[in-house]
Amino acid sequence: MALNIPLLKNICEIAGAPGFEKRIRDLVIQEVSSLVDELSIDNMGNVITIKKGVNNPEHKKVMVAAHMDEIGFIVSHIDDNGFLRFQTLGGFDPKTLTAQRVIVHGKKDVIGVMGSKPIHVMTAEERTKVAKTADYFIDLGMPKEEVEKVVSIGDPITRERELIEMGNCVNCKSIDNRVSVFILIEALRNLKNHPYDVYGVFTVQEEVGLRGANVSAHTINPDFGFGLDTTIAFDLPGAQPHEMVTELGKGTAIKILDASTICDYRMVAYMKEIAIKNDIKWQPEILVAGGTDTAGVQRMGKNGAISGAVSIPTRHLHQVIEMASKDDIQASIDLLIACLANLDQYDWSH
């Protein structure tokens, strides 16, 4: 089954900074409304869909979470010359801001560029210093009076970069986590004859603290849970084998743990068994720093959930050149569907 690259492109390129997910939310609703039995939006803006199980007398619930938001910025100041200062929404390595275009979402969308002090006028000491976010400003090419006609303090800012295909990979800003939004949509499209009610949840504000997943898991109180998110593929020059976490093209990743979650050992064993039985290429994931919506899904329901995660190996995370393998993306879709379809066939006792 060929990936729907035009859909993935739309999902990755559309704007949706944490707390400002309306555009991506509208696209998600457009895509999934015809694929599910129920759809609602909670007060935070999470999109909660339900696809009913075929044999579910105990009303078991499975929550699958994919966050819609992308790392971005928010306007914090407009100076006398029309330059913008900003605060980050999510985690950035400041050096990745150099020479980037951004989109300021004011009364209309305005293109800006990340500026900093030119190397030509830096002192010798300044040239050796590690870049800080505070060293950057946004240049809109307009004087203050023109800027203020369209931009206000508190307007969100996203990064500008289109999706392209490179070899057997896709490359774009916001592969994290729009690739998982795509995977969940495709799983809902192709999922049939699953035993339990599947709650496909497109969450908000993950990049600033798993906020949407926490609220939606509290509402749903799932019995089982799956997080969908990218993970580090550090299969790059200079990396030691024990540092790689995952490798591109080696299959979807089954999360064992990250900094916020120890996945249920039963779920990890189940996911491995399903992958092997269905000839789905997979690799284990142990991520020592960072967390995903899996943590919220696992522990914010009243009873807790037997939880695991499908992770998508991604190079160059939290940059505008994030890269994922098409084969790994397809394997992630296949694994999620197979796991949802067979939950009633496994012994979940401790």
- What confidence tens digit (pLDDT) does each residue in 192-237 have? 999 999 999 999 999 999 999 999 999 999 999 999 999 999 999 9
SS3 content of the chain, % helix, strand, coil (to 5): 35, 30, 40
C-beta neighbour count of 72 within 10 angstroms: 26
DSSP structure string for 303-315? S--EEEEEEEEEB
Partners of 139 in the beta sheet? 113
Q: In 3D, which of 199, 258, 192, 190 has the Cα closest to residue 229? A: 258
- pTM summary value: 0.96
Whether residue 200 contacts residue 280, with contact meaning beta carbons closer than 8 Å, is answered with no
- DSSP state, residue 344: G
126 given a catalytic annotation: no
Tell me: the pLDDT tens digits for 50-105? 999 998 888 999 999 999 999 999 999 999 999 999 999 999 999 999 999 999 99
User: d(Cα 10, Cα 193) in Å, to the nearest integer?
Assistant: 29
Q: In 3D, which of 135, 151, 132 has the Cα closest to residue 82? A: 151
Chain CA centroid to CA 17, Å: 11
The active-site residue out of 21, 206, 207, 322 is 206
User: d(Cα 203, Cα 25) in Å, to the nearest integer?
Assistant: 9
Residue 38, helix vs strand vs coil:
strand
Residue found under tokens 């696992």: 298
Helix axis angle, 175-190 to 22-32, nearest 10°: 20
Give the per-residue pLDDT at 1: 65
Residue 45, helix vs strand vs coil:
coil
Whether residue 148 contacts residue 78, with contact meaning beta carbons closer than 8 Å, is answered with yes
At residue 117, does pLDDT exceed 80?
A: no
Q: What's the whole-number average pLDDT of the chain? A: 96
Partners of 72 in the beta sheet? 89
User: d(Cα 316, Cα 234) in Å, to the nearest integer?
Assistant: 8
Q: What is the mean pLDDT of residues 270-282?
A: 98
**Token pair belonging to 115:** 């500026």
Give the per-residue pLDDT at 116: 86
